[in-house]
Amino acid sequence: MQSCSNRYNHSVEGLTIIQKVAVFTPPVLLAVTLHEAAHGWVAGRLGDTTALRLGRVTVNPLKHIDPVGTVLVPLLTMFTGFVFGWAKPVPVNWRNLNHPRRDMALVAVAGPAANLIMALIWALVIRAGGEILPYSEWVAMPLIYMGAAGILINIILMALNLLPILPLDGGRIMNSLLPPTVSQQFSRLEPYGLIIIVLLLVSGVLGKLLWPISSFFIALLPVPEILVQRLIQFIFT
């Protein structure tokens, strides 16, 4: 794997625009699709089949794609070193859940959990690329590049969604944990959530908030230390 680590020193930053799009597109589609499908699947297990009836518990990305959030914004932000985007939210009717307050937290955590699992799988793809590298560079390097992109996208999406801001998943979890009276007051902030996120993004504060979360989870993945450093550098520089 040492040769794989050294190769990465000249990887994503050295790719052409077309190569970057080719490398990032599959991980982006999988990240947002499985994130949203996980919400719907867990909601169905806990009593609310709304997403299932609407065909949202599926790996078909066309059911989850938002033209702006899933296509345009990631394409624009991938060249800044901070990939950002979103999909169409999966509808959940909390009244149908077996234990609404508890179950809303479980539904919310399902999305970030799916992203963490995908990041682990992409790390294994990188390791597979490292094993193949001595025999076939043209097969190995796309795997390594795409694995790195998959880790970046899924860890960022997970970390972003864990922030305690409505309508993010972290905000849903926080809302479920708060006492009912405080929860009602907190819910009133939801219409301003997107504005808050955009302000944090353009001010540079969002990256500083996400850095500790992202770097912690990337460091846990089974990839070489130098690759972890390069990934973190690519995200936040």
Between 1 and 33, the more confident residue is 33
Cα separations in angstroms, 147 against 6, 11, 217: 15, 12, 15
pTM: 0.86
How far the first Cα of the chain sits from its last, in Å, is: 25
Between 223 and 117, the more confident residue is 117
**Residue-wise pLDDT tens digits, 160-206:** 999 999 999 999 999 999 999 999 999 999 999 989 988 998 898 98
- List of residues 6+ apart from 128 with CB closer than 8 A: 143
> What is the pLDDT, as a whole number, of residue 13?
52
Among candidate residues 138, 126, 124, the one with its CA nearest the CA of residue 230 = 126
Mean pLDDT confidence for 80-91: 72
145's tokens:
């590049």
- Per the residue annotation, which of 13, 36, 137, 190 is the catalytic one? 36
219's tokens:
């460091």
> What is the pLDDT, as a whole number, of residue 20?
78
From CA 31, how far away is CA 199, in angstroms rounded?
24
> What is the pLDDT, as a whole number, of residue 229?
66
At 130, the pLDDT band (50, 70, 90 cuts) reads confident
What is the share, in percent, of the chain residues with pLDDT greater than 90? 48
Domain that holds residue 140: 2-88+95-236
Burial 206-229 (b: 16+ CB within 10 A, else e): bbeebeebbbebbeebebbeebbe
- Categorise residue 57: left if φ over 0, alpha if ψ from -120 to 50, beta otherwise: beta
Q: At what angle do helices 169-177 and 180-187 cross, to 10 degrees?
A: 150
11: pLDDT strictly greater than 50: no
142: pLDDT strictly greater than 60: yes
**Residue-wise pLDDT tens digits, 98-129:** 999 999 999 999 999 999 999 999 999 999 99
36 is catalytic: yes
Q: How many domains does the chain have?
A: 1
> What is the pLDDT, as a whole number, of residue 15?
67
